[in-house]
Amino acid sequence: MSYEQEEEDHYGPGYEVGSYTKDYNDGPYDGENDLNLNSNPEGKPRILLMGLRRSGKSSIQKVVFHKMSPNETLFLESTNKIVKDEISNSSFVQFQIWDFPGQVDFFDPNFDCEMIFGGCGALVFVIDAQDDYIDALMKLNLTVTRAYKVNPNIRFEVFIHKVDGLSDDHKIEAQRDIHQRANDELMEEGFDSVNLSFYLTSIYDHSSYKKNVLQSFIIDSNEALDFKLVREPSDVDNDETTFKPEMSHQIFGENESIFGYQNLKISLYYTAGKLNTYLGMNYSKKVDPKQFEGATADDVMGAITPKLPPGYMTNLDDFLVTLNKEQSFKPPGELLSTYSINKGTNTTDYKGSAAEKNFELYSCTIEEPSFRSYHERLQTFLLWYVDAASFIDVDDDRWRFYLIFEKYPCDGSHRYALCGYATVYLYFAYPNKTRPRISQFLVLPPFQRVGLGAELLNTIYRSFLKDSNILDITVEDPSEEFTRLRDFVDAQNSKKLSSYSKEKLQQGFNAEMVEDAQRELKINKKQARRVYEILRFEATNLADVEEYRAYRLDVKRRLNIPYQKEASDYKKLQKALNAEELRSTLSTSTKEQRIENLDKQYQMLENEYRHTLERLAATK
């Protein structure tokens, strides 16, 4: 039986009609602005500007059309919503540019491909030539194929951007490689008639020697930053104790770069337990405004210090003196559990000489003595490791804090080093329950991949399990990494429930699973369904054609629910609107497009589930 027949026979009523809404809204986009995507009352030509995050899309637009200085683009914020720009240089040159954020998901049911691509004259896709462009080429292929299906008349322009930092040979090689890969992938998928035009681009004027020299003063802020959790003075000069941020755009702008220095190093050190803070910087050369038309160096310290609480130090000797106070530091709050790992086991990449590492997990509230000032130092890590991070209002007494420390030997006694922390907010759940929501969750890089994340999450769960007033536990805007961690922990715990036995999994998702997961593990219904799909996949014999097919259909029926709802809405509107009004209200997609979307959504889920099951198998 063909895949299409499989869908026809088993997806049930409503599958044959569906639509994409026009209020496309992905993640943190401003929904009020995004609702107006198809507003173009004057029928101006439309150019779409797309590419991965940090590729330089917005910088190009600002320099070319708004005469922004290239150096000023270093401070542009990340594009996190679709931004429309009206270009009216004269009565003859008028058009719109739509700048899309890098995380656009074409398979989101809310993404209206017909409306977005249908009225488009040109699509400009920007690739960062200085980065590993494999992911960019995959996104380019997906973008072009989706757009071409809707509108074969679109002109596709590929900007191979930021070439100012490359040698002439490297530029030519990058253009050749990108051109070859992009066209080969299109031909393999049967899109050999699509024409892509490629250009080497830069926001800097290559005819000016000074502009080229200025490029040597642009530093990757992620590379410039050095973090340390200092336990003893020798750690300062030990490269093995250094770790890097995952991001810095929340401090240094979309491009995550710093202008005006050569060989710049920024030192942000914390004492391992008390988190006393040192901030310093050094460099070999600083740009001279007199030589470069008034170009001035970025104020690095001025960008970071507003985020640090009072009391940070800029003198390294003063900072090292505070290490003497580490011996008196005790973790705040109540000790909930302990955890140990042995060096050399398959669960750890942790660096250290001791045969065993011991950890302690604590919980506390903001009322804990001295914790308020400690939390001010603690939360600064979020800016470098959690996207769209914000500091919480600690005066709200419904916040709960969970911290994990390594307890390590020192001078015949023990000291503590912070490893990570999480915050949980106690929301009200009607009529008389409480629903905790995990808001922030971070394990610092030196302590990752040793099981501490799972232990911290399990500790949070256990702190609420015996409380009958707790309905279930939710998560606020989980990242992909946290989703994988949560899937692993929830699947591991749910395997112990009788309702998730292999025999019952094969019978399908049911109310007993929902009730057991909520009562015994405080897992909400949506997550209980996801855990069911993970564990049923584990219980499915993939070599059995019918058994595997039954599993796929079970998952796809759930994925098809939004399409069924859209189909129902469409039928209701058919009765209330005429054909023209209906077309302006909803844009329907073909049955083949919906099947393709469902298949790709399913494949993505199966890959995620496989990773979870591999980790489960490794812990047996």
What is the set of active-site residues?
476
What token pair was written down for 203? Answer: 């926001």
Q: How far is CA 183 from CA 155, 177, 188, 193, in A?
A: 15, 10, 9, 10
**Sequence-distant (≥ 6) Cβ neighbours of residue 590 within 8 angstroms:** none
Candidates 448, 442, 537, 560; CA nearest to 487 is: 537
Is residue 386 a contact partner of residue 443, using CB atoms and an 8 Å limit? no
What token pair was written down for 497? Answer: 């429930």
| Residues listed for the chain | 620
Enter the DSSP assignment of 131: S
Give the separation between CA 156 and CA 142, rounded to whole angstroms. Answer: 13
Give the separation between CA 433 and CA 427, rounded to whole angstroms. Answer: 9
**Sequence-distant (≥ 6) Cβ neighbours of residue 541 within 8 angstroms:** 547, 548
Is residue 491 a contact partner of residue 531, using CB atoms and an 8 Å limit? yes
What token pair was written down for 568? Answer: 């129902």
Q: How far is CA 39 from CA 116, 318, 534, in A?
A: 11, 59, 42
For 271, how many CA atoms within 13 A lie in the half-sphere containing its CB? 26
Residue 197 main-chain phi, psi, to 5 deg:
-105, 135
Q: How far is CA 531 from CA 528, 535, 536, 549, in A?
A: 5, 6, 8, 19
Is residue 402 a contact partner of residue 464, using CB atoms and an 8 Å limit? no
Is residue 10 a contact partner of residue 595, using CB atoms and an 8 Å limit? no
Give the separation between CA 242 and CA 195, rounded to whole angstroms. Answer: 47
Give the separation between CA 549 and CA 589, rounded to whole angstroms. Answer: 25
Q: How far is CA 31 from CA 25, 26, 28, 477, in A?
A: 6, 9, 8, 16
Question: Would you put residue 429 in left (φ > 0), alpha (ψ -120 to 50) or beta?
Answer: beta
Segment (H or E) for 283: none
**Gyration radius from the chain CA atoms:** 27
Give the separation between CA 275 and CA 584, rounded to whole angstroms. Answer: 57
Give the separation between CA 401 and CA 375, rounded to whole angstroms. Answer: 9
